[in-house]
Amino acid sequence: MERILDRLLPHDDSIGERTPGSRLETSSILAHKLWLERHGMPYVQAGAMYRGDPPAPVPIPPPRRNGHLIPTSFWKFIQICSNRLPPSDAGYFNHYQI
């Protein structure tokens, strides 16, 4: 950031209060609003500022090839095979988007 702006942005790491109406909460609401106005999509960072148990992982969508679901057993077989190949040959499977 310093290289781009030729200075550091002011940032106060000592702010920890996350209660409704706090400086951190109101700044976050404003940042989300400005992001939405500028980019036309919500700014979402699941669990980025959450102080507690980590959020559940985002599920990985099932693998597809040419729009069709690939059976889990076949997908696991492909993963096992590609993990045993040298890196130069493992790309073969990626070429076919499997």
Q: Determine the Cα–Cα distance for residues 41 and 88; give it in Å rounded to an integer.
A: 39
| pLDDT per residue as tens, the chain (98 positions) | 677 778 887 777 677 777 888 888 888 889 889 988 988 888 776 556 666 776 677 777 666 777 777 666 666 666 666 666 555 554 555 544 44
CA dihedral 72, 78, 79, 81 (to 10 degrees): 150
pTM above 0.75, yes or no: no
Which residue has 């790309």 as its token pair? 91
Domain boundaries, the chain: 1-57, 64-95
SS3 41: coil
Angle formed at CA 63 by CA 62 and CA 69, multiple of 5 degrees = 85
Per-residue model confidence (pLDDT) at position 82: 62
Q: Determine the Cα–Cα distance for residues 41 and 44; give it in Å rounded to an integer.
A: 9
Write the DSSP string, 1-25.
Answer: -HHHHSSPPP--TT----STT-HHH
